[in-house]
Amino acid sequence: MELRRSSKPKKAWSIWPFFWFTVVLLAKFIFARYLLFSQVNLLQGLWLEIGYILLVIGGIALLRWRPLKWSLFLIVNVLLSTFLFAVVIYYNYYGYIVTYHALSQLNQVGAVGDSVSSLIDPLYYVLFLDFLLLPLVVIGVRVFKKGPAVSPAPASRLFWLVPLLGFIVIASNMVMHYGDPIADTAVAAEKKGLVTYEILAFADGGAELAVSIQNKEDLLQAVQDVKDPNGEFAANTLPPNERQLFGAAEGRNIFVIQLEAFQNFAIGLEVDGKPITPVLNDLIKDSYYFSEFYQLVGQGNTSDAEFLLNTSFYPPAFKAASEYYSNKDLPSLPKLLEQQQGYQTMTFHANDVSFWSRDQMYPALGFDQYYDIDFFGEEDVIGIGPSDDVLYSKAVPEFAQKAESGEPIYANLITLSSHHPFRIPQSKNPLEMPEEIQGTIVEDYLQSLHYTDQMVGKFIQLLKDEGLWDNSMLVLYGDHFGLQQKAIEPEDIDAIDHVLGRPYTDVDRFNIPLIMSIPGVTDGGKQIEQTGGQIDIYPTIANLAGLNTEQQVLFGQDLLNTSSNLIGMRYYMPVGSFLNEDIMFRPLEGFSDGEAYSLETTEELDEFSQYKDDYERILKLMQLSDAYVDSLPEKF
């Protein structure tokens, strides 16, 4: 008697893909949570993440057309795997759980491809391991005799309860966590679930601002009340005759160099007796050097630093300022210099001007001209663009030509050569580094800063050769950190600890230099330990340039005329993070469970309750900044 297989598809086959993809995706979520949070509460992870898998995979399993069913299973798998991959990479460099706001900027990745690729740990590819098993799955499928293209529904007629259960789990989590303010994005994602966190972040992103702007006068007073509640250091409202150094650089050319990924610990640092920044060390001797100065950038990083410099507004919390505010008629330093003193204004960035929508931001900031890769060309490329040597060699002749008009120049120059991953060619005469740090990213980073320093020396010499130096003011500052603890290997941490002679902390990471040099005025030099941030550069330059800022809404302080300061960060640290004269503070869920670090010693403090008022003030100040910029008219 001949035995034949039934042509009827087995009911087991209709349910099997559901179990396969459910287990695989759940394993990926648990693995991603381990990579992000270092430890995993398995039951918590299952509860928080399984609802979406049951809803989507269970819903697909109900479909009867087998080709469509398998296609959707695979598409969902690819999308979720890629999402988790991106979240892990982003967090390990930025310390922030990426949201749709940042993911919407993936078109920017191509310009920094080498930097991104260097952040990928091979362990992350485990998230795609199941795709290697796909051929085995296909072979397994062929064990079953092929049936019709339309397969029966899953074995149980009650299977529709599976996606319903997923929906109930999701709804429960949403209700539980909606409106639950958790400052630290990692803590929020861990407690709410990765997908729930993303959905709630999207919902919060559409919320209306909590502060309304009635009129400019009320806003000026509100900002001053928040910054200076006791009326002790109203620096920006002091009359000119009571300000130190008011107009000390009036009428001079103002050159502002934004140093890529330049951290303050490199200033004065020697490795094996060799100075990393000999040029800046000498420049500081005849400059004002602000040693307690910090980055405040958001998602836009370098472009956000440009925004902070020229507006004294905080960048938005989860979006690049250049993307979000470029449609606004922005009050700015370039506009004020041109209106009050007839300055020519220009900016130089040896990259594609469309990167981070600078082609929209520069006109919004009021620059007369911008110079990008079309001007600089493709010679002597280091990393993502032409070298700092090319930047300065081509910019200074432009300054000399512009100066012939007799009108003063305000120019921003954005360096690139010290961009991550910090690979300076051997042809640039790098320093010989000690064996203890050779082969680490710390060595590469210090080499890139050394090259950047050398090129600053060349820029100064070029200005002197053109006869521009003596009638100029030079401002240099770092745009953001270079070394991030989460993004480097243990041996790199050991290397930077070795270089510093102590543990490397977040205080070190966010501390960047600010140097202001005015020949004939700052001779002899002065180190200023007043806490400041990038939001304070505009008010400080305005004071030195002799600008009237009484009717300007400035969220920063003139650092030469204040005895206290409060500045905030809300991207690389949670919303509500701040620095004052004493501490750097970061909340976790809120203030009470936060962490405070001494700016003097960089050590963590056990007691910080006396600073709660500063926490509430910085939240209010950032709300005011957001509301004010949002209220500005759109440019025509």
Sequence ranges of the domains in the chain: 11-205, 258-567
Q: Report, as an integer, the average pLDDT of 470-491.
A: 90
In the sheet that holds 344-349, the strands lie side by side as 369-371, 344-349, 409-414, 253-259, 472-478, 514-517, 288-290, 526-528
- Where does the pLDDT of residue 456 fall: very low under 50, low under 70, confident under 90, or very high at 90 and above? very high
pLDDT at 154 over 60: no
pLDDT at 69 over 90: no
Kindly calculate the radius of gyration of the chain based on its CA atoms and give it in whole angstroms.
Answer: 28
- When mean pLDDT is compared across 35-49, 60-74, 217-231, the lowest value belongs to 217-231
pLDDT at 278 over 60: yes
For residue 352, what are its two tokens? 């594609």
β-pair partners for 385: 382
CB-based burial label for 75 (10 Å; 0-12, 13-18, 19+): exposed
3-state secondary structure of 392: helix
- Where does the pLDDT of residue 288 fall: very low under 50, low under 70, confident under 90, or very high at 90 and above? very high
Please report the pLDDT score of residue 249 as a whole number. Answer: 97
pLDDT at 300 over 80: yes
Q: Which residue has the higher pLDDT, 187 or 625?
A: 625
For residue 107, give the DSSP letter.
G
- When mean pLDDT is compared across 116-125, 266-275, 351-360, 446-455, the lowest value belongs to 116-125
Q: Report, as an integer, the average pLDDT of 409-422.
A: 95
Say if residues 111 and 326 touch (Cβ distance below 8 Å).
no
Please report the pLDDT score of residue 219 as a whole number. Answer: 78
Please state, in angstroms and rounded to a whole number, the distance separating the CA atoms of residues 556 and 235: 10
Please report the pLDDT score of residue 206 as a whole number. Answer: 42
Please report the pLDDT score of residue 578 as a whole number. Answer: 97
3-state secondary structure of 385: strand
The structure tokens 């002679």 sit at 501
For residue 286, give the DSSP letter.
T
**Is 101 marked as a binding-site residue?**
no
Q: What is the pLDDT of residues 550-578, one digit of tens each?
A: 888 999 999 999 888 999 999 899 999 99
For residue 630, what are its two tokens? 């949002």
Please state, in angstroms and rounded to a whole number, the distance separating the CA atoms of residues 371 and 140: 60
302 has catalytic annotation: yes
Instruction: Give the chain's mean pLDDT.
Output: 86
pLDDT at 61 over 60: yes
For residue 291, give the DSSP letter.
S
pLDDT at 470 over 80: yes
180: how many CB neighbours lie within 10 A of its CB?
A: 11
Please report the pLDDT score of residue 118 as a whole number. Answer: 61
Q: Report, as an integer, the average pLDDT of 488-501.
A: 89
Please report the pLDDT score of residue 580 as a whole number. Answer: 95
Please report the pLDDT score of residue 109 as a whole number. Answer: 46
Contacts of 75 (CB under 8 A, 6+ apart): none
Q: Report, as an integer, the average pLDDT of 209-233.
A: 69
Catalytically annotated residue among 302, 415, 440, 531: 302
pLDDT at 360 over 60: yes
**Is 419 marked as a binding-site residue?**
yes
Say if residues 541 and 518 touch (Cβ distance below 8 Å).
no
Domain 258-567, architecture per CATH: 3-Layer(aba) Sandwich (3.40)
**Is 479 marked as a binding-site residue?**
yes
Q: What is the pLDDT of residues 165-182, one digit of tens each?
A: 999 999 988 888 776 677
Q: Nearest 5°: phi and psi at 158?
A: -90, 10
Peptide bond into 386 cis (omega under 30): no
Say if residues 533 and 296 touch (Cβ distance below 8 Å).
yes
Q: Nearest 5°: phi and psi at 394?
A: -95, -25
CB-based burial label for 18 (10 Å; 0-12, 13-18, 19+): buried
Q: Which percentage of the chain shows pLDDT scores above 90?
A: 56
Q: Which percentage of the chain shows pLDDT scores above 70?
A: 87
Please report the pLDDT score of residue 105 as a whole number. Answer: 56
Please report the pLDDT score of residue 6 as a whole number. Answer: 46
- The alpha-helical segments, DSSP class H, found in 474-567 are 490-500, 506-510, 537-545
pLDDT at 521 over 50: yes
3-state secondary structure of 346: strand
Please state, in angstroms and rounded to a whole number, the distance separating the CA atoms of residues 56 and 24: 14
| DSSP strand pairing (253-259 vs 472-478) | parallel
Q: Nearest 5°: phi and psi at 328?
A: -95, 155
Say if residues 284 and 474 touch (Cβ distance below 8 Å).
no
**Nearest to residue 281, comparing CAs of 292, 289, 273?**
289
Please state, in angstroms and rounded to a whole number, the distance separating the CA atoms of residues 513 and 497: 20
